[in-house]
């Protein structure tokens, strides 16, 4: 039985226009909506697959605002069985703070005699782009970590992770308990069923206070770069445009 903890972050939907908050410290999701990032979505999917294969369980954890319950319930609707919210002001939390809060949950579970065999997170945050929390967490709890994972399996107390390397797929084996940071693209996240949505509404979320005081990210301010300018030239229409297209391709070095 594999006990998996999947950590997700409530972030503004970045599929549309990116709008910053007035203080430049985050993304404004009031008009774009809130979700979890693609890496987190794949992490939840792989966590559920690992649990299903090992007759285990998945607990979803989020460190953030009270509204993050919405993202926890979304994961519950997919197949997770329990949810934990460490309720805090996300704008005051840096990567080290988030890692410390997740580590406190992991350590608390171990002390209670119900340790998590595997902690799964998105490889990096969809809103800040920080690629720190998984590595900081692994260091704090003293567990091995694999990053950039696209597929995960657990067998005989060993985590097998597939990672896309520069020359092809690479396979890593880590002893459990372990931490895995997941990239999008390896597993297609499932959609929740109506039955799953209804069941998720009935799950009581374990809401906790932060274990420590945040130190912040040290970030001064973000800015959105101006849109890149571009020009379009119509080379012609139909077969008559062929000579002009060839000329452009030769100029670019595509044709010689």
Given a cut of 90, whether residue 54 has pLDDT beyond it is: no
Please give the backbone phi and psi of residue 212, each rounded to the nearest 5 degrees, phi first. Answer: -140, 180
Is the pLDDT at 15 greater than 80, yes or no?
A: no
Residues 6+ positions from 183 with CB-CB distance below 8 Å: 39, 42, 123, 148, 149, 150, 164
DSSP string across 110-159: HHTT---SEEEEESS-TTT----HHHHHHHHHT--EEEEEEEEEEETTEE
Residue 130 has pLDDT above 90, yes or no: no
Whole-prediction pTM: 0.85
Query: Tens of pLDDT along 59-89?
Result: 999 999 999 999 999 999 999 999 999 999 9
- Spatial CA neighbour of 221 closest among 125, 126, 99, 91: 91
Distance between CA atoms of residues 66 and 45, nearest Å? 23
pLDDT tens by residue, 25-46: 777 877 778 899 899 999 999 9
User: Out of 3.40.190.10, 3.30.70.260, 3.40.50.620, 3.40.120.10, which CATH number does the structure's domain 3-208 have?
Assistant: 3.40.50.620
Give the domain ranges of the chain.
3-208
Q: Which bin fits 111, alpha (ψ -120 to 50), beta or left (φ > 0)?
A: alpha
Cβ burial 82-106 (10 Å sphere, 16+ → b, else e) = bbbbbbbebeebbbbbbbbbbbbbb
The predicted pLDDT at position 223 comes to 83
What angle do helix axes 133-141 and 95-111 make, rounded to 10 degrees?
Answer: 40
Residue percentage of the chain with pLDDT more than 90: 66
Mean pLDDT of the region 42-54: 94
Q: Which of 1-10, 26-35, 101-110 has the lowest mean pLDDT?
A: 26-35
Contact 206, 83 (CB under 8 A): yes
For residue 189, the model assigns a pLDDT of: 92
Could you give the CA distance from residue 193 to residue 71 in angstroms, rounded to a whole number?
16
Decide if pLDDT at 18 tops 90.
no
pLDDT given for residue 102 in this prediction: 97
Q: What's the pLDDT at 232? A: 84
Could you give the percent of the chain with pLDDT greater than 70? 100
Better-scored residue on pLDDT, 178 or 129? 178
Residues 150-205 pLDDT 10s: 999 998 889 999 998 888 899 999 999 999 999 998 889 999 999 999 999 999 99
């Amino acid at each position: 039985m594999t006990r998996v903890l999947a950590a997700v972050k409530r972030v503004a939907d970045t599929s549309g226009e990116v709008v910053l908050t007035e203080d430049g410290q985050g993304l404004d999701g009031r008009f774009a909506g809130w979700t979890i990032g693609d890496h987190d979505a794949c992490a939840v999917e792989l966590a559920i697959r690992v649990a299903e294969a090992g007759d285990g369980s998945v607990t979803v954890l989020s460190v953030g605002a009270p509204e993050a319950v919405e993202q926890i319930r979304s994961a519950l609707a997919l197949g997770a069985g329990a949810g934990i919210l460490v309720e805090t002001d996300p704008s005051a939390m840096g990567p080290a703070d988030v890692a410390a809060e997740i580590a406190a949950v992991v350590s608390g579970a171990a002390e209670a005699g119900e340790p998590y065999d595997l902690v799964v997170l998105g490889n990096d945050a969809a809103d800040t782009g920080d690629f720190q929390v998984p590595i900081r967490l692994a260091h704090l709890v003293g567990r091995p970590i694999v990053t950039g994972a696209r597929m995960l399996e657990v067998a005989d107390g060993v985590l097998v992770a597939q990672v896309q390397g520069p020359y092809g797929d690479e396979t890593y084996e880590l002893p459990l308990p372990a931490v895995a940071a997941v990239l999008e693209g390896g597993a297609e996240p499932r959609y929740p069923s109506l039955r799953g949505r209804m069941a998720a509404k009935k799950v009581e979320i374990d809401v906790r206070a932060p274990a420590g005081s945040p130190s912040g990210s040290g970030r001064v301010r973000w800015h959105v770069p101006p849109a890149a300018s571009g020009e379009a030239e119509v080379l012609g229409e139909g077969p008559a445009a062929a000579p002009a297209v060839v000329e452009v391709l030769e100029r670019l070095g595509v044709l010689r």
